[in-house]
Structure 1
Amino acid sequence: MTAVMPPETYFTQSGNGLFTKGAPARSWTVSTAKPVTYEVRFESGILDPAHPALAEAGTPPGSTGTRRLLVVEEQVQRLYGDRIAAYFDARGIETVTRVLPAHEQLKTMESAFQVVESMDAFGIARRHEPVIAIGGGVLMDIVGLAASLYRRSTPYVRVPTTLIGLVDAGVGAKTGVNFGRHKNRLGTYHPSSVALLDPEFLATLDQRHISNGLAEILKIALVKDRALFELLAAHSKTLLNGRLQLTEDPDGRHLVAEEVLCRAVHGMLEELQPNLWEHQLQRLVDYGHSFSPVIEMEALPELLHGEAVCIDMAFTTVVARRRGLVSDEDTRRVLAVMEDLGLPVMHPACTPEVWEHALADTVRHRDGQQRLPLPVGIGQACFVNDLSPQELRSAFAELQEHDRALRSAL
């Protein structure tokens, strides 16, 4: 390292560590590393006043913080607001609650600024008063972005209340909001201190939102966990109708929902952990996310995130079949499980032109290459960079024909 001494006399550090007279240093390279540690854990019944997890989440041992700023999604507040308030009252913690409507059309910097305003008015003590975000993936992304910006990094806690939040948005490092017609175009890497995953929140979700989250679970199954796929195939209706509550399956052998949830979260974290900042652009967890960001924004507000992801996966499964990577039988099984999980494989907003635009946008996002994940059988994947416009259109036509046949059979 070269050091500059007082301006009247310049010295340069020599190889033996001594300083000698010389010209002032004119360039420096600064290198450092910041260790990142955060916790993801399942905790059932976190709104039970006897359960300390939520009160203690994100605080150092022996913390004396007795205040919390809560950012709660609007629908969650209607369903659980009284229980949330009663929990913190019972724990002797004073709260201020910011209720935020949160969906893709409101996933904007304006919403993030609303959270910042609340943080500023509250007067966050960053070391022992983490912000607590309670809601779905959209809300957690907004709060996470606001927390990353406020005083350049403020701790927060994620409490996902949707299935997609539980297995996807709640467990990674990314935050973000939409910009214009672009999904998550503005964002940061700022993981929560703790993510508390409580499947009991899923009991009040409608079935469509359960399907929406199951799409992200299916993603992990298709590219890295065949056993998870078999669980989805065998228990799709039970998982849907039971809203993944931790009850025994009919033969009483094990908790199907628990295994599905744990395998999905484990598979996601296994992929995220070694590449948390996405320096490596070839990512298995991008499966289902090559075309879906554009499709989802084109179809707003009709398509949910997981539904767009499923359409993407259905398309790439067909591409893989046409390349001989997936057998006809496995293709049939994959598309049938998508149907059983209540997920779409096509939408009127999807056209070959939109598909080509989506691929071009992905290439820009992935540093000039497609890096397109394709399934290999069920439970494995490879990456390709040579999907042509003609191949894209042929696969699209095949998937469209499958969707027409499916609809005519209903």
Structure 2
Amino acid sequence: MTEPFHSAGLYTHSDHIDSWTVRSAKPLSYEVRICEDAFDLGSTALLEGAGTVTATGPLRRFVVIDEEVAALHGERIEKYFTHHGVDFRLHHVKADETVKNFDTAGKIVQALDAFGINRRQEPIIVIGGGVLMDIVGLVANLYRRGTPVLRVPTTLIGLVDAGVGVKTGVNFNGHKNRLGTYFATSLTLLDRSFLATVDRRHIANGLAEILKIALIKDRNLFALLEQHGDRLLETKFQGDAVSQGRVAAQVVQRAVHGMLEELQPNLWETELERVVDYGHTFSPTIEMRALPALLHGEAVCLDMALTTVVAERRGLVTAEQRERVLDVMRLLELPRWNPLLEASLLASALEETVRHRDGQQRLPLPVGIGDAVFVNDVSAEELAAAVDELRRADSRVPAATS
């Protein structure tokens, strides 16, 4: 008779093995760090994890950089790597939603292959906005089944949203982020100084994601935006006085902390009711339909404006609170209305979201300012009525004639 055998981690019910259950757990840890100058010559944060030399020679880094960032900051970045004796290549990429696809990802892989890296000791570095970080995150996850990556976000939306989570992705078949993975970045350095060269519209774009956190979980953050939002936009989070500098730092810290507080217990989205999905029910469809006219944060703001009206109609938000929210959107120079807010498109977008959220709407709505609730019963008729009301509420759009 054959002797039974056992192996750690594998369990069978009898000597006749016809099934194995394999269980494993991999701990996850990554760091998001605020810094004043990621490329200060005295800083070695971007060189951490591999010492100063590899097993075969000097430190090597493959650096993917947004082409506009390279034009503005490339000389300083090159000086940083040269100062530290790094063998590096800067791979420039045009990065926006219109080229957030597999073709762009494939070109990065080709350049990465040409440079050649030790995937354990030589992390990829990405310097750019949320679109580029999403693409490079996907590349790093797929390349040899996992290559470390370090991020330096250079836009506000990158600092407070795209640069702090673990999702990667590219657009496909007309759908936003249809293909993607979960992949943790070893280190993200948040450096507000890059925002000084970001245009005003893209600062507003990032403020939309900060407003999202404020509306669903942080009324004190909302108060900061209500009081200082115009100056934050004007000064690009650099601060034109000591007090304004403190406000800028506090707004970024609260936004990042709020986002991470929600993401950390649910990184792989096993729980589909996520308050950080606020503003992301209708916006993916709106954004992709509008390309390239709308930025991501602008589409999110339209979604939030609409759902604020839905919430008011349900008695979750008062008329006064609705006006405060819409006024802050205007203060931040974000859109509250767009012709794409049409009932049939919104109903279609909601159907797509239901498929994405496992058969239920799981739609977060604001409760006052600073809290949220999930609903599963929003109807097409309710959306149509909210659209009409939002059109009337936006003073820039004339009321529809009967």
Q: Shorter-chain TM-score: which interval?
A: over 0.9
- Does the alignment pair 1:91 with 2:81? no
CA distance in 1, matches of 2:199, 2:93: 20
Distance 1:408 1:253 in 2: 37
Q: Which segments of 5 or more consecutive residues in structure 1 lack a partner in the other structure?
A: 1-8, 15-21
Mapped to 1, the partners of 2:53 and 2:371 lie a distance apart of 45
Partner residue of 1:244?
237
The alpha-carbon deviation at position 49 of structure 1 amounts to 1.3
- In percent, how many aligned pairs have the same letter? 58
CA distance in 2, matches of 1:55, 1:407: 52
Counterpart position of 1:278? 269
Matched, 1:178 2:179: no
Are the aligned partners of 1:167 and 1:265 in contact in 2 as well (CA < 8 Å)?
Answer: yes
Confirm or deny: 8 A CA contact 1:248 1:256 kept in the other structure: no
SS state of the match for residue 230, structure 1? helix
- 1:125 — aligned with what? 118
Change (3 A) 1:32 1:391: same
AA aligned opposite 2:374: F
Q: Where do 5+ consecutive residues of structure 2 fail to align?
A: 7-13
Aligned runs of 1:211-360 on 2, under 5 Å? 211-246=204-239, 248=241, 252=243, 255-360=246-351
What residue is the counterpart of 2:396 in the other structure? 406
**Which residue is equivalent to 2:100?**
107
The structural deviation recorded for 1:407 is: 4.4
Give the aligned partner of residue 29 of structure 2: 37
| C-alpha RMSD of the superposition | 1.7
Q: Determine the C-alpha separation between the residues in 2 that align with 1:77 and 1:307.
A: 25
Q: Which amino acid aligns with 2:358?
A: D
Aligned mate of 1:163, from 151, 156, 170? 156
Indicate conservation of the 8 Å contact 1:10/1:24, yes or no: no
In structure 2, the partner of 1:366 is 357
Per-residue deviation, 1:51:
2.0
Alpha-carbon contact 2:391-2:398 (below 8 Å) kept: no
CA distance in 1, matches of 2:70, 2:392: 43
Contact 1:11 1:24 in 2 (8 A): no
Contact kept in structure 1, 2:133 and 2:151, CA below 8 Å = yes
Contact persistence 1:295–1:349 (CA under 8 A): yes
Cα separation, 1, equivalents of 2:308 and 2:252: 23
Aligned residues: 389
**Would you say the 8 A contact 1:210–1:240 is kept in 2?**
yes
CA contact (8 A) 1:247 1:255 kept: no
Q: Is the 8 A contact 2:214 2:221 kept in 1?
A: yes
Report if the CA contact (8 A) 1:55-1:88 is conserved. Answer: no
Contact 2:60–2:117 (8 Å) recurs in 1 = no
Within 1, Cα distance between the matches of 2:296 and 2:153?
Answer: 15
Counterpart residue number, 2:9: none
User: What TM-score does the superposition give when structure 1 sets the normalisation length?
Assistant: 0.92
Aligned partners of 1:387, 1:350: CA distance in 2, in Å? 16
1:240 corresponds to which letter in structure 2? L
What is the alpha-carbon distance in structure 1 between the residues aligned to residue 341 and residue 67 of structure 2? 31
TM-score (norm 2): 0.94
- Give the Cα–Cα distance (whole angstroms) in 1 for the partners of residues 239 and 153 of structure 2: 17
CA distance in 2, matches of 1:274, 1:116: 32
What is the CA distance between 1:24 and its match in structure 2? 2.8
> Residue 136 of structure 1: which of 107, 121, 129 is its match?
129
Judging changes above 3 Å, is the alpha-carbon distance between structure 1 residues 246 and 34 closer, same or farther for their aligned structure 2 residues?
Answer: farther
The 3-state SS of whatever aligns with 1:406 is coil
Give the 5 Å matches for 1:5-20.
10-12=2-4
Shift of 1:23: 5.1
SS for the counterpart of 1:172 is coil
